[in-house]
Structure 1
Amino acid sequence: MPPPTSHTWGRRGSTPVIRVRGRSQRRFSIAALCCYTPGMQSRLIYRPKRHTDHKNGGRKSFAWTEYRDLLIAAHQQLGGSIVLVWDNLSVHKDRRMREFIDTHDWVVAYHLPPYAPDLNPVEGIWSVLRRTSQANTAFADPDDLIRRLRLGLRQIQYQSDAIDGCLTATGLTLTTSRLQPQ
């Protein structure tokens, strides 16, 4: 992975150069949920994954079962219903994923329009991650990369204002269709 660059400096007339090793064939994926509840602190729940067998025909991304497991873990952590607002990733629309969602009353899924990353709060999380813990960093090895990803995401987890800002940047608001007890 070429390192994301941020602000840098150099002597006038010379361009700073970041040297990195050759391109790696290793793949990493991260799935994340931005969790919002009116009146409570926002939460970020994530799972990184290192794909070790993708060169031999293995998966290059999360399988629907891994998204299912993430939803189950989020449901247990949050202790309540989940309303998903998902992009149109093919795994999100997988028949088995839809069957899982349809058979559990604690989860409901809505899909964003195609090509609408500006409506997805998780895209804001990736932007914050790239601009903070990943900026101007050349990773020594894949373990260093995954360690830094976890550290950066853990730091974002403790900043509920940053997670709220990712929702605010989309222009979406929290609403509830259920009647609130009075």
Structure 2
Amino acid sequence: MTPPTSRTWSRRGSTPVIRVRGRSQRRFSIAALCCYKPGERSRLIYRPKQHPHHKAQGRKSFAWTEYRDLLIAAHQQLGAPMALIWDSLNVHKDRRMRAFIDTQDWLTAYHLPSYAPDLNPVEGIWSILRRTTQANTAFTDPSHLMRRLRHGLRQIQYRRHIIDGCLTGAGLTLRTPQLQTQ
């Protein structure tokens, strides 16, 4: 991952040059869910994954089974039915994933249009992550990158107002049920 640069400086009249070590062929993926349950704090549930270095060692993204396992873990943590709003990633539309969703009475999936990052609350999380803990950092090795990713996600995870902002920024209305007066 090439470090995102948010700010730099140089002498007047000089173009700033940022030197980065050679590109790595290693790849990281993160799957995340922004969760809201009425009457409780919003949650961020995520799973980072470092993929093998060599191309021959398998896929370079999450498999449908890993998304399935994340959904099951989220359901157990939330203890409630889930409405899932997904983008059009191929794995999200996989026939095995659709079959899994169809067999679960606690899970309903809605797919976003082909390119609509403004409707996906998790895109707000990625934007915040890039602008905060990932900004202006040259990672020394893959474990350094993974530590910073986990640290940044934990910071977001414990700040419910950030998650709420990403949910409302995507046009989702957060409502708590009205208390019944007797």
Same fold per superposition (TM over 0.5): yes
CA contact (8 A) 1:54 1:60 kept: no
* Structure 2 partner of 1:131: 131
CA contact (8 A) 2:88 2:113 kept: yes
1:61 partner amino acid: S
What CA distance in whole angstroms lies between the structure 1 residues aligned with 2:99 and 2:174? Answer: 26
Q: Out of 52-61 and 143-152, give the one that drifted further.
A: 52-61
CA contact (8 A) 2:26 2:53 kept: no
Once the two structures are TM-superposed, the CA of residue 50 in structure 1 deviates from its matched residue by 0.8
What CA distance in whole angstroms lies between the structure 1 residues aligned with 2:81 and 2:88? Answer: 22
* Structure 2 partner of 1:12: 12
CA contact (8 A) 2:168 2:174 kept: no
CA contact (8 A) 2:27 2:53 kept: no
* Structure 1 partner of 2:28: 28
* Structure 2 partner of 1:70: 70
What CA distance in whole angstroms lies between the structure 2 residues aligned with 1:89 and 1:78? Answer: 24
* Structure 2 partner of 1:121: 121
Name the SS of the counterpart of 1:71 in structure 2: helix
2:24 partner amino acid: S
* Structure 2 partner of 1:169: 169
Structure 2: gaps spanning 5 or more residues: none
59 and 40 in structure 1: CA distance in 2 versus 1, 3 angstrom threshold: same
- 1:29-68 deviation line (CA, Å, top 9, x unaligned): 0000000123321100000011105511611100000000
129 and 33 in structure 1: CA distance in 2 versus 1, 3 angstrom threshold: same
What CA distance in whole angstroms lies between the structure 1 residues aligned with 2:179 and 2:135? Answer: 46
1:96 partner amino acid: R
Q: TM-score, normalised to structure 1's length?
A: 0.92
What CA distance in whole angstroms lies between the structure 2 residues aligned with 1:16 and 1:136? Answer: 13
CA contact (8 A) 2:43 2:160 kept: yes
Q: Cα RMSD over matched residues? A: 2.0
23 and 167 in structure 1: CA distance in 2 versus 1, 3 angstrom threshold: same
1:26-175 to structure 2, matched below 5 A, reads 26-52=26-52, 55-56=55-56, 58-174=58-174
- Counting matched residue pairs gives 180
Name the SS of the counterpart of 1:44 in structure 2: strand
